[in-house]
Amino acid sequence: MATAWEDSVKGTKKLTVFAGSSVTGGPWASVFALALKEFNALSATHSFGVTLSASTTAPDNNGGGADVQFEAANGSISFQSFGATVSVVANGNGLSGDTQQVISVLGTKRQILKAFIVVPATPQINANPPRAVGDGVKLVIAVHELLHAAGLANADHNPNDLFNGFPQARAGSKPADDKIEVNQQKLVPPLFLTAQTAAKLKAVWT
Amino acid sequence: MSLRSRLFRGDSRLQACLLSDPSHVKPGDAGDFVSKIQVALGRLDDARIDALERGAKRYGPTTAAAVLAYKRKRNIVNQSYQTQADNIVGKMTIASLDNEMAQQEQRTRIVVESISCRFDGGGGNASA
C-alpha cells in the first residue's frame, strides 16, 4: 500500500531529487535528467499531484536538503537519515533498482521523510555475450524507482504497465533497441502507466 | 541552557540563537541551521515551505511565512518591544521549536522500508 510523504512536503506537490556524482559523472547522467522529465510528463497525463525537480543539495542526516537521493553503485552504499542508517548492496552490472523509504511512525500515522534510490553503476543486458544496456532500459528502471520514491510500495506493482513487478529485459540488436517487456508482450519504452497505478499514486498526493 | 532536541542540539548557530538576541535567524539567512528550522516547522506545523527554498536551505518568503504562522499560533511575542509576532526566529521561538521537537521525537519512530526490483527476468530479444 502506498505511503504518503510528510504533510509539509505533500503540500508543496513537489519532490526535489539530488543526483550524486556517481550519476552525474557516469552512464546514468543523461538518463537521470530524462527520467525526471518523463515522470513529470506521466504526472501531467495522469494528474499524480506531484512533480519532480532536480536539486543540487544532498539530503542530510537532519532532514534538510533534497527529498530524494539518486545514486549508482557497485557494492555497498549507505546513507544517514534522521539518525537511521540506510544501506544497499548493489550488483554494479545487474539490471535492478533499489528504493529505500525513510518513514516516520507516529501512532498509526506513517509518512515518508526521505527516499534513497540506488541503481547499478554499469548495468548490463544478456545479449549473448552481455553488454552495457541501452538508455531506454535504464530510463524504465529510473522512472520505476522514482515511482517508489514518490510513495508506491512493493504491493503496488502492476503487471500491465512500467510499474510491473516482474519486468523482463529484452536485448535488441543494438543498445538503443533494448526494451523491458511487461504483460502481454508490451515493450517499454515508450513509457506508459495504467490508470490503476496512477490512481494509487494520486491517492497519496491529492 | 542548551538545545535538547535531536534535530537542534549541537548546532552552534542555533545554540547562539537561543542565548543571544543579535544571533536571531532571519529572512535572507541560509545554511544547515535554516534547514533545521524548516524541518521543524514542517514536522510540527505541516508548514508548506517551497521546495526550492528547502533545497537551498534558504530563509525565503515561504519560510518567513511559516515562522510567522508558527509564532502567531502560539502567541510568541516579546512584550518588551512588540505588540504582535514577526517572522524572525529569536530566543523565544527557537526555545519553543526545540521543546516541541524534543517531545515529538520521543513519540516518533523512524523505520526504513526497503524495495528491491529486478528487471532481468528474461533475456530474449526485443522486437520493437
pLDDT score for B126 = 40
The CATH number covering residue B58 comes to 1.10.101.10
- Total tally of structural domains belonging to chain B: 1
Q: Where are the domains of chain A?
A: 7-205
pLDDT at A200 exceeding the cut of 90: yes
- Domain membership of residue B54 (yes or no) is yes
Kind of pairing between the strands at A51-55 and A14-19 = parallel
- Within 8 A of B67 by CB-CB distance, chain A residues are none
The radius of gyration of chain B's CA atoms, rounded to the nearest angstrom, is 20
- Domain membership of residue B120 (yes or no) is no
Do A64 and B47 make contact, defined as CB atoms within 8 angstroms?
no
User: Alpha-carbon distance B71 to B58, whole Å?
Assistant: 19
Do A106 and B104 make contact, defined as CB atoms within 8 angstroms?
yes
- Domain membership of residue B114 (yes or no) is no
What angle do the packed helices B61-74 and B91-107 form, to 10 degrees? Answer: 80
Kind of pairing between the strands at A96-106 and A109-120 = antiparallel
Q: Which residue of B has its CA nearest to A134?
A: B126
Nearest chain A CA: its distance from B48 CA (Å): 5
Quick: pLDDT tens for A20-38: 999 999 999 999 999 999 9
pLDDT at B125 exceeding the cut of 70: no
- Domain membership of residue B85 (yes or no) is yes
- Domain membership of residue B100 (yes or no) is yes
DSSP chain A: ---PBPHHHHTTTEEEEEE-HHHHTSTTHHHHHHHHHHHHHHHHHHT-S-EEEEESS---TTS-S-SEEEEEESEEEEEEETTEEEEEEE-TTS-EEEEEEEEEEETTEEEEEEEEEEEESS-EE-SSS-EEPPHHHHHHHHHHHHHHHTT--GGG--TTSTT-SS-EEEB-SSGGG-EEEEGGGEEESSP---HHHHHHHHHHH-
Do B122 and A105 make contact, defined as CB atoms within 8 angstroms?
no
Nearest chain A CA: its distance from B81 CA (Å): 32
Give the nearest partner residue to B111 out of A105, A169, A187, using CB atoms: A105
- Domain membership of residue B20 (yes or no) is yes
Q: String of b and e for A28-56 (b: at least 16 CB within 10 Å)?
A: beebbebbbebbeebbeebebebbbeebe
Do A6 and B117 make contact, defined as CB atoms within 8 angstroms?
no
pLDDT score for B62 = 96
pLDDT at B30 exceeding the cut of 70: yes
CATH of domain A7-205: 3.40.390.10
DSSP chain B: ----STTTTT-HHHHHHHH-GGG-B-TT-BSHHHHHHHHHHHHHH-----HHHHHHTB--HHHHHHHHHHHHHHT---TTT-SS--S-B-HHHHHHHHHHHHHHHHH-EEEEEEEEEE--S---B---
Neighbours of B126 (CB within 10 A): 22
Q: What interface predicted TM-score (ipTM) does this complex get?
A: 0.93
Domain that holds residue B25: 12-104
Candidates B88, B95, B98; CA nearest to B36 is B98
Quick: pLDDT tens for A58-109: 998 888 889 999 999 999 999 999 989 999 999 999 999 999 999 999 989 8
Q: Taking the model in full, what pTM does it have?
A: 0.87
Quick: pLDDT tens for A135-185: 999 999 999 999 999 999 999 999 999 999 889 999 999 999 999 998 878
Do A53 and B125 make contact, defined as CB atoms within 8 angstroms?
no
Say if residues A3 and A153 touch (Cβ distance below 8 Å).
yes
Q: Which residue of B has its CA nearest to A11?
A: B48
